[in-house]
Amino acid sequence: MPQIVILPHERLCPEGAVIEAPKGQSVCDALLANDIELEHACEKSCACTTCHVIVREGFDSLNEATETEEDLLDKAWGLEAESRLSCQAIVADEDLVVEIPKYTINHARENH
């Protein structure tokens, strides 16, 4: 089963984590299933950017981003070439290294 290494995030995962994720599961669902409370304001329907992550390793193993996802990513804070909406990024065969950005555009949660 592929592993996801989550780099340390001040609020959500201060120590970082290594979790297992079954092939075919979204990165968002894998994090949530392992008590990493990643924001997902649109309930994982690809309608916001609060679940934005940066895939530092294994990016090319993920499914291709849709045009809708690409359009939304343009609005994400801290966008990088390896950015994905974790609700749309589906785990394949390779291990991943994921960074959760410090901020989201969800201002109501930014200071929590």
CATH of the domain at 35: 3.10.20.30
pLDDT at 104: 74
| 104 within domain boundaries | no
Q: Which run of H or of E encompasses 33? A: helix 27-33
| 85 within domain boundaries | yes
State how many domains the chain has.
Answer: 1
| 110 within domain boundaries | no
- The mean pLDDT value for 99-104 works out to 88
User: If DSSP codes are grouped into helix, strand and coil, which group holds residue 89?
Assistant: coil
Task: Give the N- to C-terminal CA distance of the chain in Å, as an integer.
Answer: 33
The model's pTM is 0.91
Range of the domain at 31: 3-99
pLDDT, tens digit (0-9, with 9 covering 90-100), for 44-60 = 999 999 999 999 999 99
